[in-house]
Structure 1
Amino acid sequence: MSAAYMSNQAPQMKATAFQYMQAAMNAITSEILVLNTRGIMQTLPVGVLFALVCMGTIFGWINRHELVKRLLRNTKAILSEAKLHSQSFSPSDREMLSFFVSSTQYWDTLVTFMGYEDGSVATIGDDKSEDMVLPFDLNVTQHPTLTPHPWTGISTLTSQLFCESIKCCRSFRKKMKGHEEDPASMLDTLDVMARAEQLEVMLKQLEYPNLDEIGETGDRLTPRQHLIEAAEAYRLSALLHLYQTFPNTKTEVSPIGPFEIARDDVIWGDRVVPLALYLTNLLKKIPPESGSRSLLPILYIAASTGLRFRGGLLSAPRTAALGDSSGLSADHAMFHDSSDFSWASPHGSFDAFTSMSEDIILIGDARHLIMQRLGLLENCLYPKPIEIAKNLVKAIWEAYDNDLFDQHDVHWADIMEDLGLRSIFG
């Protein structure tokens, strides 16, 4: 891991990093082969699982994404087998099993966002068990997973709902690009749309504990408030992706106020853009030096996908639109008062989206803030994924700004696939 990190600043370390990684992969492969020959699992292989998680995250740093997916599938296979025999485990092993299951769920979210299909790569060892360690049933009314996630600090249910929302969006976009019109494909598409509506309802009903109900984190850089804000940001990000991908949702109430929903352009102006601005403002409250900073890249990308100027705003300064440092100052970023659904800024107080110039100011400020924050994260996290995130965000905004006829057919997942701008953003 150290060699992989250092290879970014010292290119001569790349050969050493690959040598160590190959040695680590060989060790993991050998351990998995041993596990496959032992028969019934008597104890949880904590060392192997920990190695899989560590290696799975660093491979994302050097764009070995096929290996990330391979290691994830092997981790799921081991955990699925462990769950079958967990009754014979010691209490400490059962506790560790729960830890790794929840951690793998977040890892699955990162890979899902990146866009790899479950069966896209081969696996090491025997991987014939179920792929999903935590099968998510939308019809279950009680989900006892609002406890803090061991990796992220936010609730496991929040992470699950975000992951399922991304899966719905990606599945729908893939079907739309395939232009398949056979009855089976159409039924699948209707199922995805119905699942998206269920997810929206669950996300809007999600509630979090009060601040005084949460124990201290023990980290002065990560107060409890940061985790609450990050959890809410994940909830809003999931809704934002659903509203972009499925614009004809039938619900009448958004998480930040009532809206009349009609044409696609009204949906963007009255739902997607305000939600993206609200999300950006929420993210502004979490400083880049927070201990929760590894959660932020995906959230910044999510917020960026809703920051679209309405048609006819191509006169907006391109530097501000792309978040260049010569654009509008981040000090001009808006704050939102949900009590009256209006924004205020140094430029004055006004109802949201009453003129084109106000659109330009608010969206330009939000874009600048996101690029500024990603730049700061580039200095405190491994830089390669952040560099890819910045390029992805710029590509999304460029596609929006070049959509002269406001067709609203630009989608972040398509841009990520077409340009190959994917990484483990967390």
Structure 2
Amino acid sequence: MPVSTALIQPNRELSPQIPKQPFNIPTSLSEYFFREVITLYCAWDSKSNVMRNIIETSWQSSGALYHTIQSMSAACLSEDFPHLLPVARREHAQALEMLCQDSLPSHKQAMLLASQLLGHTSSWLTPQNLATDMFNTSCDILRDILLDTGRDSTISFFSDTMDYWAMLLAYLTDSHHLGSYDRNFSFGPAESTKSDEPHPYSGISRDTVKILADIGVLVFQYRKHISKVKFLTENDIDVFRTALREARKLERVLLAHRSPDLSQVKDPGDPKTPLKHLQLIDEAYRCTGLLQLYRVFPDLLNERYAPWDKEYLLRPLPLDKMPSAQERQTWLTKLAMHILGILREIPFESRTRSAQPFIMVACSSELRRNPQHLQSASVAAGDLNMLAIDPASIEVARARKFVLSRLAAYTHILPLRKSRVISELIDQIWSALDSGSTDVYWLDVAHEKNLGTMMG
């Protein structure tokens, strides 16, 4: 179904010379995809966006890709136009059917992109659908392409997409659901052929995303095992020691990580997402990884504890003293607020907003308020100790408001039901914290309340 070149350029208005056509849903959905959906889906967008370029050259010859973009557009519009939700589901099903039927070698890249998009956006239609089957299908198609064509910069895009997808899945599902994906095996090209341009989803955080995926696998498997322990056995102790050794190794990798030198990175030319924004996201990712390790493995924090000072976060001072549980909690809360402070430096208009929900959720379970400030409003006015509010609690309240406001704006711009699930997850986390529950961890709440969804 041909469409004018003007319709597939990022953020360009329709040419006034084009005569008005009768309203046609498929045409309108295709136009909307190129004009709006890509810019919402990617962390940056311009003419050099490899995802955009593959779709522009293949969508009219690949049935799977055509129906995929129809489904994504209809899903994005279904909040305002409810009659498009059945259209989105139908197009999604047709895309899956065509993906199974299409075996032309010339369509392999289009098939792979369709498979990745279908899997990643299954949560747009059913929020809790993590589509791990599509993740495994995409891994298989990528391996086939590697065998047929070898490694090049386009393969790097697909490989990095799998790493980003794996990171989002790793915190929400058992590692055996990731099937043939091997986080220690590189799908992509040799370093000498890798693109110096940011990835449309992970930006300049290719390495950080892989580390976060490793942390997700470790944390999910460890929490799953520990949750079943009623009486400790020697095997449980061995599991703990093995997990702690791996966590210690990942901590060292994160502390040693350095963001890419921006002078060596090709600026894709998106005025809404300068390279500085991508650098800030990379820093937020790194700190988020440390936050997960220190929460799940408190021994790591005990080994480096000194009162919070962001200047020494990445170069720990010698152990100051063994912290109490309350001192550890205060330190983790400070780290979470430091991460949110990094996000606060990025204006909401930045397209990196698509990467931020995961970071905000991962920080949310550390935003604990002082229990005495949650007393009923009927507390006697004369009890000044009960009425006093310390500066730390004010900062936590401010951080919570920032998370809520940014998520609300995100939901308004990308009105998908999964966005509401993310907000509900955060509400459940804070309700547990405010009720006095100890050791509340977002991953546990997501699992217990069935609120796991794709957060990127």
1:230-267 C-alpha deviation (Å, 9 max, x unpaired)? 00000011111111111121235633864644232211
Residue 314 of structure 1 is matched in structure 2 by: 374
1:117 aligns with 2:184: no
Contact 2:123 2:129 in 1 (8 A): no
Q: Once the 2 structures are TM-superposed, how far is the Cα of residue 43 of structure 1 from its aligned partner?
A: 7.5
Contact 2:127 2:418 in 1 (8 A): no
> What amino acid is the match of 1:54?
L
Contact 1:240 1:275 in 2 (8 A): yes
Residue 134 of structure 2 is matched in structure 1 by: 71
102 and 211 in structure 1: CA distance in 2 versus 1, 3 angstrom threshold? closer
1:359 aligns with 2:397: no
Q: Which has the larger radius of gyration?
A: 2
Residue 66 of structure 2 is matched in structure 1 by: none
Greater helix share, structure number: 2
Q: Once the 2 structures are TM-superposed, how far is the Cα of residue 109 of structure 1 from its aligned partner?
A: 1.2
> What amino acid is the match of 2:336?
A
Match of 1:251 among 304, 321, 345: 304
> What amino acid is the match of 2:123?
G
The total of aligned residue pairs comes to: 358
1:19 aligns with 2:76: no
1:99 aligns with 2:157: yes
Q: Once the 2 structures are TM-superposed, how far is the Cα of residue 12 of structure 1 from its aligned partner?
A: 1.9
Contact 1:101 1:133 in 2 (8 A): no
54 and 146 in structure 1: CA distance in 2 versus 1, 3 angstrom threshold? closer
Q: Once the 2 structures are TM-superposed, how far is the Cα of residue 64 of structure 1 from its aligned partner?
A: 5.9
Q: Once the 2 structures are TM-superposed, how far is the Cα of residue 280 of structure 1 from its aligned partner?
A: 1.1
Q: Once the 2 structures are TM-superposed, how far is the Cα of residue 184 of structure 1 from its aligned partner?
A: 3.7
Q: Secondary structure at the match of 1:400?
A: helix
Q: Secondary structure at the match of 1:378?
A: helix
Residue 131 of structure 1 is matched in structure 2 by: 180
Q: Secondary structure at the match of 1:289?
A: coil
| Runs of at least 5 residues in structure 1 that lack an aligned partner in the other structure | 36-41, 122-129, 318-354
> What amino acid is the match of 2:297?
F
Q: Return the alpha-carbon distance in structure 2 between the equivalents of residues 145 and 257 of structure 1.
A: 33
Contact 1:392 1:416 in 2 (8 A): yes
Contact 1:273 1:308 in 2 (8 A): yes
State the identity as a percent.
24
Q: Return the alpha-carbon distance in structure 2 between the equivalents of residues 146 and 247 of structure 1.
A: 38
217 and 316 in structure 1: CA distance in 2 versus 1, 3 angstrom threshold? farther
Contact 1:56 1:67 in 2 (8 A): yes
Q: Return the alpha-carbon distance in structure 2 between the equivalents of residues 361 and 394 of structure 1.
A: 19
> What amino acid is the match of 1:51?
A
Q: Secondary structure at the match of 1:45?
A: helix
TM value normalised by structure 2: 0.72
Residue 234 of structure 1 is matched in structure 2 by: 285
Q: Once the 2 structures are TM-superposed, how far is the Cα of residue 414 of structure 1 from its aligned partner?
A: 1.2
Q: Return the alpha-carbon distance in structure 1 between the equivalents of residues 376 and 395 of structure 2.
A: 11
Structure 1 window deviating more from structure 2 (357-366 vs 180-189): it is: 180-189
Match of 2:228 among 178, 183, 203: 178
Higher RCO (C-alpha under 8 Å, 6+ residues apart): 2
1:325-377 C-alpha deviation (Å, 9 max, x unpaired)? xxxxxxxxxxxxxxxxxxxxxxxxxxxxxx96112111111111111111111
TM value normalised by structure 1: 0.76
Q: Once the 2 structures are TM-superposed, how far is the Cα of residue 279 of structure 1 from its aligned partner?
A: 0.8
Question: How do residues 214-225 of structure 1 correspond to structure 2 at under 5 angstroms?
Answer: 214-225=265-276
> What amino acid is the match of 1:111?
L
Q: Once the 2 structures are TM-superposed, how far is the Cα of residue 22 of structure 1 from its aligned partner?
A: 1.1
Q: Secondary structure at the match of 2:425?
A: helix
1:396-415 C-alpha deviation (Å, 9 max, x unpaired)? 111111126xxx32211111
Q: Secondary structure at the match of 1:410?
A: coil
Q: Once the 2 structures are TM-superposed, how far is the Cα of residue 289 of structure 1 from its aligned partner?
A: 1.5
51 and 161 in structure 1: CA distance in 2 versus 1, 3 angstrom threshold? same
Q: Once the 2 structures are TM-superposed, how far is the Cα of residue 392 of structure 1 from its aligned partner?
A: 1.0
Contact 2:128 2:450 in 1 (8 A): no
Q: Return the alpha-carbon distance in structure 1 between the equivalents of residues 226 and 389 of structure 2.
A: 32
Contact 1:57 1:424 in 2 (8 A): yes
Contact 1:145 1:155 in 2 (8 A): no
> What amino acid is the match of 1:254?
L
Q: Once the 2 structures are TM-superposed, how far is the Cα of residue 30 of structure 1 from its aligned partner?
A: 1.9
Q: Return the alpha-carbon distance in structure 1 between the equivalents of residues 328 and 362 of structure 2.
A: 17
| Runs of at least 5 residues in structure 2 that lack an aligned partner in the other structure | 1-71, 306-311, 378-387
Question: How do residues 194-209 of structure 1 correspond to structure 2 at under 5 angstroms?
Answer: 194-209=245-260
175 and 263 in structure 1: CA distance in 2 versus 1, 3 angstrom threshold? farther
Q: Once the 2 structures are TM-superposed, how far is the Cα of residue 212 of structure 1 from its aligned partner?
A: 3.6
Residue 374 of structure 1 is matched in structure 2 by: 407
Residue 213 of structure 2 is matched in structure 1 by: 163
Contact 1:276 1:306 in 2 (8 A): yes
Q: Return the alpha-carbon distance in structure 2 between the equivalents of residues 403 and 275 of structure 1.
A: 21
